[in-house]
Amino acid sequence: MLASYLPRGSQAMLFIPSLKGLWTRAMLRGVHYRDSFQRIDMLYMIPDPWNLDNPQERFRYQETNRLIRNEFGHVTRLLEVGCGEGYQSQYLAQVCSQLHGCDVSTRAVERARKRCPNSTFSVGTLGDILVHQAELYDLVVACEVLYYIDDVLDAIQTMSRLGTSCLVTYYQSHQDRLDRIITPLELGDRAIIRNGDSTWIAVWWRSDRLRRVQQDRTDSQSQSS
């Protein structure tokens, strides 16, 4: 297995870009739209496996913050789903008073805590957060996360139970599949984040709107039956 070839102290991988890319591709093979949490945790045997510390991603972080400020103002309590090593957490902490990040990877969360010592992080899934939730978050954010979840619809519904408002972003290559799930829900507003040849879709909604849409559909089905 490729893991057996990792050098002691996997940061050495940083100096072998081709090997780092090989490791990332190997760990991501077959993980899309599956709850492959163990594989994702193994991915973090090397730092920044997604290459998130680069100008293009920082542009996305800044644009996401701008959108949050425009649509929600300064948020009191924000939950970041899939926080990873905390690269975007550093930016989200600027638009809220209290940031709570969660991720399925213990390795990633340990690094996020060091990167953002004034924020709170935990290891777990959306379901784990729901079980231990004490009060609603003002905003629940899941950026570049939905493609690693088996049941995207359930994730959206759980996000809506955790917060009064929600926001997701996803990359253009996944738009067709995710739009087939998200568009029929009539969630609310959307925007495009574009930088060069890269495009991300942002969708945000008020949780009570999703509940109303679902209730209207239930009532309509009951009347027609």
Is the pTM value of this prediction over 0.95? Answer: no
CATH class of 55-213: alpha beta
Ordered by start, the domain boundaries in the chain are 55-213
Q: Give the tens place of pLDDT for each residue, 99-152.
A: 999 999 999 999 999 999 999 999 999 999 998 887 899 999 999 999 999 999
CA distances 187 to 63, 128, 191, Å, are 21, 24, 13
Tokens of 73: 């103002």
Q: Give the tens place of pLDDT for each residue, 27-36.
A: 878 888 898 8
The contacts of residue 128 (CB under 8 Å, 6+ apart) are: 102, 122
* pLDDT of res. 29: 84
Distance CA 138, CA 159 (A): 11
Comparing 48-57, 107-116, 167-176, 210-219, the range with the smallest average pLDDT is 210-219
DSSP string covering 35-102: --HHHHHHHTTSS-TT--SSHHHHHHHHHHHHHHHHHH-SEEEEEEET-TTSTTHHHHGGGEEEEEEE
Structure-derived torsion over alpha carbons of residues 57, 62, 63, 69, reported in degrees to the nearest 10: 150
N- to C-terminal Cα separation, the chain: 55
